[in-house]
Amino acid sequence: MHSQTLESDAVPTIGFPSINQQVVEFLQITGNDLALIERYGQTLRQIASDFPDIFFNYLFGYPPTAGILNDWLNQGASITSLLKQQDRYISQWLALDISNHNAEKLLQVGRKHHGRRIDPQWVILSYQFQVKHLINIITDHPAVAANDRRPLQDALSKLLFRDLSLVFEGYCRAAGGIPRQLEQGMDTLQAHMTNLIANLPYVFWSVELPGHKLLYLSPGNDPRDVCEANLPIPLFNDIINDDQIKIINAWEQAVQGGKQQVEGRVLDDAGNIRWQRYLLTPCRNIYGTVIRMDGCIEDITDVRETMDRLQHLATTDMLTGLANRTLWYDRMNMAIHAAQRRPGHRVAIMMLDMNHFKLINDTMGHPVGDAVLHQAAQRMKIMLRDADTLARIGGDEFGVLLSDTDDTWTAAKQVAKKVLGCFNEPFSCKGHEMYLGASIGVAIYPDHGQDADSLVSRADIAMYRAKQRGSGYMFYNPGTDINAIKQLQLSNQLRQALQRNELELHYQPKIDLHNARLCGVEALLRWRHPQHGLIEPDQFIPLAEQIGIMAPITEWVIGNALDTSARWQQQGVHLPLAVNVSALCLQNPALVQWVKSVITSSGAPPPGLELEITENTVMGDVDQNFDVLMSLNELGVRIAIDDFGTGYSSLAYLKRLPINTLKIDKSFVMDMALDDNDAVIVRSIIELGHNLGFNVVAEGVENADVWDLLNILGCDEAQGFHISPPLTETSLLPWIAQSPWRLNA
């Protein structure tokens, strides 16, 4: 909390201070007080409008004051003139004139009271009456903002006491001394004041400087609680150690002559933290030396708690309890500023998006989606250090900020892997077990951007690439930025690609390793873009999934592949056909029905139709997928698990599901002749597949060494550039005719 020097106020202290200046200074009437009264001028005028009536009714109801008034009336005054006079006084008073000229008028009023023999106690008590009237009304007046009530009451009472003391001074000057009745009146007033102050939630005190002699401590406080050491601030020893230093600083500055305001915490008797605000007002003598310190302690726990609650609400994501977008951006900006001051310092920003989360929401409902988000958040939170910020940015998007790292690139890599590890275990909710992956994009300050916005959008682009490639996490690469912008334009064109007949299928041959014969083809989708030429499926299928057009595309792919197969059969080529089905389509309740109708309407269904589904898709919601796969199986459709080895399969599920084929992911196959680890993985998958009775296909066979090794390991089928790249419908038959691999009989 910072301390602040308050502005000095409206009455300048030049030369010997006038009585008016002394009164204004003593009461600490500030420009803020005047501004506050002025702000509520209208309301105060209304509140005060019925005061003259109430006031005179009261005075006429009490015999001694009624006597004074009647004398006055007898001397020629009228009730109306009395009321008017009172009214005028209130408007003058609301005009906020605290000038010496105005003070003169008030001294004059006191002199008149003396001349009319109005004993000053009645004047003092009338002021008390007026203070009470105004202050009571303000306590719950709807036109006065709750925060302003206390300061407004404070300001009003200061102004009224100013007037009172000047009137009183005028009286005393005229009388040449303090009359006896006045002494009594002062006693009454002091009792009132003591009572008033004791009931305020403030501690006031005043000490002499430099001796620290206690001059005043507001009633209800024990003078022994004033620390007599360096700082004679009441209850100083109760202040929490961390905050004492702030208050000592403020004290030292106040002793130099600047008003200070500082906040600190104390522990109450029950051990709870309470917040207090300390106001320190130094008072100078006529030579400018600080000779006294006036102080005030105010309990501001309620205000702080409300502010903390508001702060919490404004910065927390309610579903997960994590930081929200606002707080994440704040922390990011702070981390970037800190890094700017420390050359060579870096900040890593990660954007994480869950894969196919929308499916969970769409198929299982939002409560299940919310539960998954909550579980994911808790897992990630445990993984990260306290210094890191994990935030939910919105939907299934999370952000991570790493600011306190030595080797930021390595740290970011490790954290990305650790966070992805949180998605290894299934999420469970309402009896469903779901495997859900995630993709992370990383951007580093200052390498990838100078400010939070550009870093976030770059981490986003990297995340998008990671999602497309299924690579888990990716760092931003400036070369991909341009591609990302193109993606946006592409998505609009992709919507029209189907109608415009721009999609086409290529067919990649598969060879039976046991007899080196062609045993089938996999249909692979391409988009022949009018400007960009042939676009690979990895470049547009994630986009198609995002914009919700994967269902019609899949329908087109299956129908088209079957038509092609029928045309080949007419030419005597009977080839089993594999078609890829994306996660979104497997969840589509209409899938089984389409496949059924396409097969029945196709003149010549292929000898073996196999649907390839990626490993994580199948393991996503095993219970639901089980029914779909069983129904497909009943139609005579075979099921292949694609890209096997990249996901997280449960052996129990592999055994339970109606699976025919495992396709080993090409990332293990391509280099297996050079990389022993890959070879071990491929061998294990072949053994596992055979033990479970599956046909095992290796994709990504790029050379003869791999081919030979697969043969040795007993793999069943091979697919890859070593055999052939994917071919168009028309080039397949000539390829078969000249290839060393004959068609399986």
| Residues contributing to the site for ligand C2E (CB under 6 A) | 508, 524-525, 536-538, 541, 557, 580-582, 612, 642-643, 666, 670, 699-702, 719-721, 726
Least spacing, CB of residue 447 vs ligand C2E, in Å: 30
Residue 525: name its binding partner from Mg ion, ligand C2E, none (Cβ under 5 to 8 Å by kind).
Answer: ligand C2E
Nearer to ligand C2E, 403 or 719 (CB): 719
* 3-state helix, strand and coil shares in percent for the chain, rounded to the nearest 5: 55, 20, 30
Least spacing, CB of residue 726 vs ligand C2E, in Å: 5
Q: Where are the beta strands (DSSP E) in 549-705?
A: 577-580, 609-614, 638-644, 661-664, 695-699
Residue 260: name its binding partner from Mg ion, ligand C2E, none (Cβ under 5 to 8 Å by kind).
Answer: none
In this structure, what token pair is assigned to residue 569? 């059969």
Residue 51: name its binding partner from Mg ion, ligand C2E, none (Cβ under 5 to 8 Å by kind).
Answer: none
Residue 743's contacts (CB-CB under 8 Å, 6 or more residues apart) are 517, 518, 573, 574, 575, 736
Q: What CA–CA distance (Å, rounded) separates 693 from 458?
A: 46
Helix (H) or strand (E) holding 389: strand 389-394
Least spacing, CB of residue 586 vs ligand C2E, in Å: 10
Nearer to ligand C2E, 404 or 563 (CB): 563
- Residue 515 has a CB neighbour count (10 Å cut-off) of 11
Residue 520: name its binding partner from Mg ion, ligand C2E, none (Cβ under 5 to 8 Å by kind).
Answer: none
Residue 460: name its binding partner from Mg ion, ligand C2E, none (Cβ under 5 to 8 Å by kind).
Answer: none
In this structure, what token pair is assigned to residue 199? 């009931």
- Whether 724 and 745 have beta carbons less than 8 Å apart is answered as no
- Residue 686 has a CB neighbour count (10 Å cut-off) of 20
DSSP 524: E
Least spacing, CB of residue 741 vs ligand C2E, in Å: 15
Least spacing, CB of residue 642 vs ligand C2E, in Å: 5
Type of residue at 387: A
Candidates 388, 545, 643, 729; binder of Mg ion (CB under 5 A) is 643
The partner residues of 577 in beta bridges, in order of sequence, read: 521, 609
Cis bond leading into 446, ω under 30°? yes
Residue 606: name its binding partner from Mg ion, ligand C2E, none (Cβ under 5 to 8 Å by kind).
Answer: none
Nearer to Mg ion, 163 or 642 (CB): 642
Is there binding between residue 612 and Mg ion (CB under 5 A)?
yes
Nearer to ligand C2E, 447 or 702 (CB): 702
Residue 721: name its binding partner from ligand C2E, Mg ion, none (Cβ under 5 to 8 Å by kind).
Answer: ligand C2E
Type of residue at 157: S
Nearer to ligand C2E, 389 or 719 (CB): 719
Instruction: Give the side-chain half-sphere CA count within 13 A for 500.
Output: 11
- Site pattern 218..257 for Mg ion (x: CB under 5 A): ----------------------------------------
Nearer to ligand C2E, 372 or 505 (CB): 505
Residue 295: name its binding partner from Mg ion, ligand C2E, none (Cβ under 5 to 8 Å by kind).
Answer: none
Least spacing, CB of residue 307 vs ligand C2E, in Å: 52
Nearer to ligand C2E, 409 or 721 (CB): 721
Least spacing, CB of residue 497 vs ligand C2E, in Å: 13
Instruction: Give the side-chain half-sphere CA count within 13 A for 425.
Output: 11
Nearer to ligand C2E, 52 or 726 (CB): 726
Residue 700: name its binding partner from Mg ion, ligand C2E, none (Cβ under 5 to 8 Å by kind).
Answer: ligand C2E
Residue whose tokens read 């550009």: 454
Three-state DSSP class for 650?
coil
Nearer to ligand C2E, 377 or 673 (CB): 673
Candidates 642, 678, 716, 729; binder of Mg ion (CB under 5 A) is 642
Burial of 548 per CB tally in 10 Å (0-12, 13-18, 19+):
exposed
Instruction: List the helix and strand counts (H, then E) for the chain.
Output: 29, 21
Least spacing, CB of residue 720 vs ligand C2E, in Å: 3
Nearest residue (beta carbon) to Mg ion: 612
Piece of the chain touching Mg ion by CB under 5 A; list 31-39, 389-397, 640-648, 668-676? 640-648
Helix axes 79-94, 63-74, angle to 10 degrees: 110
Least spacing, CB of residue 625 vs ligand C2E, in Å: 15
Least spacing, CB of residue 534 vs ligand C2E, in Å: 10
CA–CA–CA angle 620, 622, 623 (5° rounding): 135
Nearest residue (beta carbon) to ligand C2E: 720
Nearer to ligand C2E, 405 or 661 (CB): 661
Residue 420: name its binding partner from Mg ion, ligand C2E, none (Cβ under 5 to 8 Å by kind).
Answer: none
Residue 432's contacts (CB-CB under 8 Å, 6 or more residues apart) are 364, 368, 621, 623, 624
Least spacing, CB of residue 617 vs Mg ion, in Å: 12
Least spacing, CB of residue 646 vs Mg ion, in Å: 9
- Site pattern 524..563 for Mg ion (x: CB under 5 A): ----------------------------------------
Nearer to ligand C2E, 144 or 541 (CB): 541
Residue 452: name its binding partner from Mg ion, ligand C2E, none (Cβ under 5 to 8 Å by kind).
Answer: none
In this structure, what token pair is assigned to residue 460? 């986003």
Nearer to ligand C2E, 545 or 621 (CB): 545
Least spacing, CB of residue 663 vs ligand C2E, in Å: 7
Three-state DSSP class for 142?
coil
Q: What CA–CA distance (Å, rounded) separates 735 from 745?
A: 17
Is there binding between residue 580 and Mg ion (CB under 5 A)?
yes
CA–CA–CA angle 458, 464, 469 (5° rounding): 130
- Residue 540 has a CB neighbour count (10 Å cut-off) of 23
What is the distance between the terminal CA atoms of the chain, rounded to a whole angstrom?
85
Nearer to ligand C2E, 653 or 721 (CB): 721
Nearer to ligand C2E, 332 or 557 (CB): 557
Least spacing, CB of residue 393 vs ligand C2E, in Å: 28
Nearer to Mg ion, 320 or 617 (CB): 617
Q: What CA–CA distance (Å, rounded) separates 685 from 90?
A: 95
Least spacing, CB of residue 1 vs ligand C2E, in Å: 58
Q: What CA–CA distance (Å, rounded) separates 420 from 410?
A: 15
- Whether 518 and 511 have beta carbons less than 8 Å apart is answered as yes
Q: Look at the chain and count its residues.
A: 745
- Whether 537 and 526 have beta carbons less than 8 Å apart is answered as yes
- Whether 672 and 691 have beta carbons less than 8 Å apart is answered as no
Number of residues that bind Mg ion (CB under 5 A): 4
Question: What's the Cα-to-Cα distance from 78 to each of 52, 82, 377, 534, rounded to whole Å?
Answer: 14, 6, 79, 103
Residue 720: name its binding partner from ligand C2E, Mg ion, none (Cβ under 5 to 8 Å by kind).
Answer: ligand C2E
Piece of the chain touching Mg ion by CB under 5 A; list 372-380, 590-598, 609-617, 711-719? 609-617
Q: What CA–CA distance (Å, rounded) separates 142 from 50?
A: 18
In this structure, what token pair is assigned to residue 716? 């069943």
Least spacing, CB of residue 436 vs ligand C2E, in Å: 18
Rounded to the nearest 10°, the torsion over CA 229, 231, 237, 238 is 160
Nearer to Mg ion, 239 or 561 (CB): 561
Using CB under 5 A as the criterion, which residues of the chain lie in contact with Mg ion when the complex forms?
Answer: 580, 612, 642-643
